[in-house]
Structure 1
């Protein structure tokens, strides 16, 4: 069956506009950038430019009709086109892109596609926040509000509207105090040492190696899914792997148990279904990444799925704990080493903007990193206490 040919839209004669990353045609007039329409319709963009050119060149504001004003659906289209270009350049993750896309769909469901963006008022944003809050916790609400503000601020920063929107006092993230209170009201999200030993005794490869990386190095699912052979020094017992979320480089000592488990996985490699997955340590039976996003934006987390089966088998499910809770255990117990800088280094935490010490600190010594992981190892597998001899007791 012959493939369908895609044709680029024909540009009108004399067309002098140029495409921008936000999905629109633009032109700089009197030192200011002006936008005239979407890339898929150059004729409409050219027509609008010709209508407004004289006013803009004379420094006058062109007269606008409702048809000229930015609708919500157009804002979403421009915004997502901009973010999609960031995905292609590697500046934005596919997961984050689809998160923004879901927020756009919620905005359209609340306000409608043809809502004029500039007509939105604080009362409208208060109504939006109420819809955002239904059936979710404060953390999810905070994320939704933040993402929505990013989308609407994009309209202002890209000169898609004449004035910034006023969100009002209500359309803000919940206060940090409330977020802390909600977190403290819920069960702890870490695993105890005995529970982790049960997990390791029950899990089969490659999940067993992933669990060890979780408690040995504070790895999350995405870290495991993207771990490559080139990041490992099994003979020396180290892994150097950037954290997927922050791209901060990490270096972590590997326990002998972790090295042995990784060797078992590497000894039985699975064939990836595409060349770009070559070199990954962990591949599913079907040859794909364990954690991935489909073309439709569906998040697939094979590690969480397999880990959930083990939790149910051990009757540990239903306590808000999952694979990422191993990272909570690492942070909590690692702090007992009394070297938070080394813990943060292994965890891949991004330092606060006002932390000047992190600006000057070039590295953390291996001995400090070893002290952290040795402390956690001793907690996970404590040495048996020797019984006092009769002679000592007397």
Structure 2
């Protein structure tokens, strides 16, 4: 606040300085007949001596901004961080309702918005936020998260604030500054290198298969046989699985990209075993699912609380397997891709994974033969089971 914002009772007058209204009063009487306080090495004035209550009120309104080194806003009304969170999440909820956005993604956006509200304050004016604010937020986030999570949350926050700009909720785009960026690819690579490869060795896969329940055994085999992830297994319909031909034709629920994979004899047998003990679903809409929990529910949920991930985590802990942190069911998909790439048929591997290649050739390629898919599948099978077992 500049000196011009408060007028002394008598400029240049010789009125004796008043005492503070009470000992803990945060302001002091300045010789210019105004209540003042030195903040970050600079004097700020809040009102005339005759109105200590008004001066205190003004100080409290501007306290956070001044102690943070920012210029306080004279107008405290406007579009707040809470307003932004509510309008942004309502818009995203509409996309969830129309099937254009996954509930899991909405939950992630909600967590990012809650972080902003908690850090900036629900009544903070969005237009008042500047580079220093976002730099401080990023530093706080970096203290508890690694580069990958940090980058993902930063991206979600930027999406939310861009929503305010794109929809004319604020007069100008938010100024993030140079600091509020996702970690560089180099930083992410270095972090991953420190943790080591995100892979399961064949011996570990054998251990998991040996102690897994029939449904879990089938899902583990789907993960390493065809790179199916948590949601893939949880939402796999029986209509997509042909146990006679040993093929799965199932677009990825996450992206809708077509996917087809050839099943190992071991995977076909495990699926038959799982279907034989499959409980009846509680909801008729789940009747076609391959996997149903003992409670009659799908293994996949729309939230971050994934049943398959939790149960697989219990299995890993029961075996007391050492190694890097962050291993889970999705590691089977990482392992499949890593090994399958050695088969030297990237288009076929992409098709099995449900990955959309950016290469121009993928635009013209309409299909890939089942023989090529089986070649990839057999290559990974030999790696997992060993050439002697496969030959037998």
TM over 0.5: yes
| Deviation larger for 299-308 or 205-214 | 299-308
Where does the alignment leave 5 or more consecutive residues of structure 2 unmatched?
1-73
Partners in 2 of 1:324 and 1:243 — Cα distance? 14
Of 246, 268, 289, the match for 2:277: 268
Structure 2 residue 292 is the aligned partner of structure 1 residue 303: no
Of 276, 286, 290, the match for 1:277: 286
Q: Deviations over 1:64-100 (max 9, x none)?
A: 9653x21111111100000000001110000000000
Map 1:321-340 onto structure 2 (within 5 A).
Answer: 321-340=327-346
- Cα RMSD (Å): 1.7
TM-score (norm 2): 0.77
Of 232, 240, 244, the match for 1:235: 244
Match of 1:377 in 2: 381
Partners in 1 of 2:382 and 2:248 — Cα distance? 20
Contact 2:196 2:324 in 1 (8 A): yes
Deviation (angstroms), 1:275: 2.5
Deviation (angstroms), 1:378: 1.2
Deviation (angstroms), 1:366: 1.5
Structure 2 residue 234 is the aligned partner of structure 1 residue 225: yes
Q: Which has the larger radius of gyration?
A: 2
Match of 1:146 in 2: 155
Where does the alignment leave 5 or more consecutive residues of structure 1 unmatched?
1-63, 386-394
Of 175, 179, 203, the match for 1:166: 175
Contact 2:343 2:379 in 1 (8 A): yes
TM-score (norm 1): 0.77
Deviation (angstroms), 1:329: 1.2
Q: 1:227 to 1:317 in 2, by over 3 A?
A: farther
Could you say what secondary structure the match of 1:92 adopts? Answer: coil
Match of 2:4 in 1: none
Match of 1:347 in 2: 353
Q: Deviations over 1:85-121 (max 9, x none)?
A: 0001110000000000001100001101111111111
Contact 2:219 2:233 in 1 (8 A): yes
Match of 1:91 in 2: 100
State the number of aligned residues: 315
Deviation (angstroms), 1:306: 2.1
